[in-house]
Structure 1
């Protein structure tokens, strides 16, 4: 366990481990959100199968990606010992949420009738409100979205001699109100990560990779809980009701860090980059690197169209 300052805030890092929410609680870490005992019942350990990932940046990063026809680690991050990585997040879609809900309900009630299935109201939409599920991002106004399978193909072809890259459990990072599970992806001949365990394919762990998708067992889908889950075993039905007060809790998410050697650029055809990027709003707290500042969605959309025209 290592405690240090990052993002101007305290963080605790557990290298080579993906510690579950219950395991983190057992460690007795001084964190008021993690130790909140008043959280109402909610869908715990919901498994999402996510096929897409996203990389978010500001205007200078956007221009650099277009100019390079690909992704590279910014030199200023390399100089600040941020690790030799390009960072991607899971891009959870509405279809992913729907599939996860069906799997969750089936695990609760394996023998529901067709009428019970038909009359079951949606539940996850009331709880999947953390930043892991939002269109907004703290890292900038411009989001590139790729299928993970396609991204791995580009990475494997360019840096892994055509072989499949290696997935490893890199770390768990606990912030004030956030749990970040990091997966590192690297070529087989890079031995920097030999002491880190391989990422599981199928198990009871936090996350893993199987058949082109990351599965993620989400343990805390909200930052603020205003609803509670009510399970009626007799009727084989789950309902959602209002909680008497707002409760604040930690939220969890998965990041994928692609190892990049100095000078490497993960190249993608510029026309494809144009198709895979969209503008988004910036969420609080904003983690854009100065001197950049967040743009409104309308301004970001106009700026993106202008840059595409300039570079097209």
Structure 2
């Protein structure tokens, strides 16, 4: 366990482990008021999402650098600050994947529901999947690149891994004030820096996340930052309902990041036309974590910048 400051935020890191929410609660060295909140109303715990897409968010300078380089590289200033030799991606959960996860969750509770019970069951996850892990906004910039994980791995494998597939490993769990970040590292087989880190699980299990056939499965344990609703399971009627909670309750939320190992000078090349198809403008969420010289833009400003860049590059 290691505690340090990052972007003016205190964080506690556990290298080589993906510690569950229960593990973190029981850890004697952790003092976190959000994690220890005992008044959290009932909510859908351990919902498994099968996620096929990932996103990388950046500011205007990062956007221009990506198109200038025709691909992704670690910014030199981050390498100088010992941020790790990575380019960072987050899971991009779609509405269809939320719907599928909800169906699996309900089926696990009630394996033998009738057609009428299935038809009359109201949606539940939309009331709880409100953390930044499920939002279009991002704290890291106004420009979001979204790829299927399978496509991104193909580019990475073709350029850096020779005739072998990239390796997935459990890299770390990072606990911030109100966030749990599970990091997966992806690297070529001949890079030995991560030999002491365990391989990422493939088949679904009780682990936090894993990779199987082009998709990440993620067992989300805390889908909200603020709980304003509570879950009620009626086993007799085989139905789950959602009702307002008497008071807002703040809690930690969890998400998964994928860190692609990049050697000095490496650029993960992607055709510019494809880059334009994969990028869109988005709003910046609070707290803004953009690094200088970038500043927060409105959605309208970001959209104009993206349109102007396409004109310049064409």
- TM-score interval w.r.t. the shorter chain? over 0.9
Q: Is 1:191 paired with 2:192? A: yes
What is the aligned counterpart of 2:230 among 224, 228, 231?
Answer: 228
Report what 2:266 is aligned to: 264
TM-aligned CA deviation for residue 311 of structure 1 = 1.2
C-alpha RMSD of matched pairs (Å): 0.5
Deviations along 1:117-153, whole A, 9 cap, x unmatched?
0000000000000000000000000000000000000
**Aligned with 2:152: secondary structure?**
helix
Matches of 2:164 and 2:96, distance apart in 1: 30
Residue equivalent to 2:282: 280
| Alpha-carbon distance in 1 for matches of 2:152, 2:131 | 25
Q: Which runs of 5 or more residues in structure 2 are unaligned? A: none
Residue of structure 1 in register with 2:295 after alignment: 293
Structure 1: runs of 5 or more not aligned: none
Shift of residue 162, structure 1, vs aligned partner: 3.0
- Superposed, which structure 2 residues align to 1:110-259 within 5 Å? 110-202=111-203, 203-259=205-261
The separation in 1 between residues aligned to 2:138 and 2:163, in whole angstroms, is 33
2:47 maps to 1:36:
no
Q: Output the TM-score relative to the length of structure 1.
A: 0.99
Aligned-pair CA distance for 1:210:
0.3
Distance in 2 (alpha carbons) for counterparts of 1:208 and 1:22: 19
Q: CA deviation at 1:163?
A: 1.5
Pair 1:80 & 2:68 matched? no
1:25-74 deviation per Cα after TM superposition (whole angstroms, max 9, x unaligned) = 00131100000000000000000000000000000000010011100000
CA distance in 1, matches of 2:147, 2:109: 33
Instruction: Kindly indicate whether residue 21 of structure 2 is the aligned counterpart of residue 21 of structure 1.
Output: yes
Deviation (angstroms), 1:308: 1.0
Deviation at 1:291, TM superposition (A): 2.1
SS state at 2:246 partner? strand
Q: List structure 1 segments (4+ residues) > 3 angstroms apart after TM superposition.
A: none
1:252-308 per-position Cα deviation (integer Å, ceiling 9, x unaligned): 000000000000000000000010000000001111001211101111111110111
Q: Structure 1: how far apart are the matches of 2:78 and 2:5?
A: 16
